[in-house]
Amino acid sequence: MRLATGTLGLALFAGACGGGSSPGIMAPTAPIKPKRAPNIVFIVTDDLDARSFAFMPLVKSIIADRGVTFASAYVSVPACCPSRASIFTGKYAHNHGVLFNGPPDGGFEGFHDAGEERSTLATCLKDKGYRTAMVGKYLNGYPSGGDPNYVPPGWDEWFGIDSELTSDTYYNYGVNLNGQRVSFGDGPDDYETDVLAPRVPSFNESDVSDKPQWVREMDPLGPREVEKLDRLYRNRLQTLLAVDEMVQRILGTLEQAGVLEETYVFFTSDNGFQMGEHRFPHGKDSPYEESILVPLVVRGPGVPAGRVLSHLVSNVDFAPTFAEMAGAPIPPDVDGRSLVPLLGSSPPAADSWRKEALVEHFARQRSGIPAFRELRMPMLAYVEYDDGNGELYDMQADPYELDNAFASAPAATIAALSSRLAVLKRCRGAGCR
């Protein structure tokens, strides 16, 4: 449930740039060809659902209002490590092989042992002369009992939080600072990142008879559980205030350094989070919007101010985006597509962009939620579970996914959706785009 603690910051700097600017100045409305490759600051929160982003007024003011907001940004897997592996590599989980948050086929160990660290957005941009930095959470399990001073390839500056940190701890943690162990205590200066919203219709859903068995098996939330969720949600939103302020400080630092006008700033999350929707007490890993839809806002050179785009985008798109910004070749095995065409003054129409995004979930025995694959389209969400269940929602008429139309839909519709999903869950490279 970490929000502040799980923040990942990637800073990719092309070099010192002249000229000052102010966060209050509107970005140019036409693409700029920088004299040199632009700087890139990429901020990833942990478990931040799209709805909670509304409680971050500073980020909205200094990034969203001065750049582009992507209203349909989805994660490839609604779980931390698989999602972050997709960010680093630009690949879907069925191609990078990180399926879970822990070993053997997940977590830091799975990513490291599979050799995926040899080719990431960090190594790609470093090869193009960028100076790279990683600050915060890397992958669950890092360093997993291995060399506590290990720094992955491609990073010039490394401030990686030790995985011994628990999900609710903001004090008493360890950090690998460029290969050296540093410990933090419980003082006021050690806080790592130094209310309530109205109920949505899906909260504690009353009738789940049309849902898969794993949902039907969950009892309605009782008063004590709702009270606990209220308290938990309030605490989560309070942690967001620290993240909000942190982002403001980052942009202030860029401004003081005179490089803000030549820096792209991305803000997003590795996955969403459910808190009572569809009776799910709290967590993620589900195919529902609360788990898979994340905030994504971008500002930078040539990015129009205040624009909202409905284009379907995925976290597999970040690696090719940063590669193109850096002038680096995009590896042919990357599953995502660069977002650079969407950041200028004349983006392609949404209906000429990606038609669907793939969401995957891989389940171990007794995990609770069966493995599934989801085909997320602009107006439809189609889910196939390995246990034979399915879900289908009209996202325009039923945005809270209350009425599962899988059983009543025409057989031809289900067959067509299933056929397309079958292609995507085996796709590689260009076939995924």
Q: Are 12 and 40 in contact (CB under 8 A)?
A: yes
Residue 432 known to be catalytic: no
Kindly report the CA angle at 91 between 85 and 93, in degrees rounded to 5?
65
Could you list the beta-strand ranges (E) of 305-355.
307-314
For residue 207, report the phi and psi dihedrals to the nearest 5 degrees. -120, 105
Q: Which of 17, 80, 81, 124 is catalytic?
A: 80
Kindly report the CA angle at 362 between 121 and 383, in degrees rounded to 5?
100
| Residue numbers annotated as active site | 80
